[in-house]
Amino acid sequence: MESGPTELAATIQAASIEHNPDAKLDTNPRTAADKRQPMTLEQDDGIDEDDDEEEDIPYSVLRPAPRHSNLPPLPDLRFEQSYLRSISKADTWWKVALITTRDQILMPLTQGLAYNLFLCGWQHWNRNAQLHGNTVGARVRRWWWGVNNWHIPTHRKRA
């Protein structure tokens, strides 16, 4: 059995291998070793002279193009597709009108009504919720107010 650091290094190295390399991004830049040239000796007279013949490093080598993630295509979430699928079974105009009324008017109205009733009930419950007491709900509310740094109002006794 290998040591822990060696196994960790092997795991990291194996995880970083690109199994589907991109030819544009993963090839090395061209070098002088790519083609054979006969050797020529040039005599350098001055050591401190500037060489104007030196080439700059290409920008594509310094800042390579970012890799694009290979994500699957996004699903079609437009409501038109489901609407067209539901009216494809309708054989008369009144069935199309009924499906349209159901999908475009009744369902959004029902969803909005349910959401609004939930919010109104939540606000009513919060308005009547007590911060003082020994119940679990009161403890949770005091904790939540403390986490958010809200001022906990003083307890007023009812007369």
pLDDT tens digits for 35-89?
777 777 777 666 655 555 566 788 778 888 777 777 777 766 667 778 888 889 8
For the chain, the distance separating the N- and C-terminal CA atoms, rounded to the nearest angstrom, is 76
Angle, CA of 34, 36 and 42, to the nearest 5°: 115
Is residue 73 in some structural domain? no
| Lookup result for tokens 């650091």 | 5
**Integer-rounded Cα radius of gyration of the chain:** 36
Is residue 118 in some structural domain? yes
Instruction: Tell me the CA distances in angstroms from 57 to 30, 126, 148, one per residue in order.
Output: 11, 65, 54
Angle, CA of 73, 76 and 82, to the nearest 5°: 155
pTM for this one? 0.36
pLDDT value, residue 112:
95
What residue numbers bound the domain in which 100 lies? 94-146
Is residue 16 in some structural domain? no
Is residue 53 in some structural domain? no
Minimal CA–CA distance to 30: which of 2, 68, 61?
Answer: 61
Average pLDDT, the chain: 78
Q: Pick the more confident residue, 78 or 134.
A: 134
Minimal CA–CA distance to 57: which of 30, 19, 20, 94?
Answer: 30
**16-29 tens-digit pLDDT:** 666 776 767 666 66
Number of domains in the chain: 1
Is residue 13 in some structural domain? no
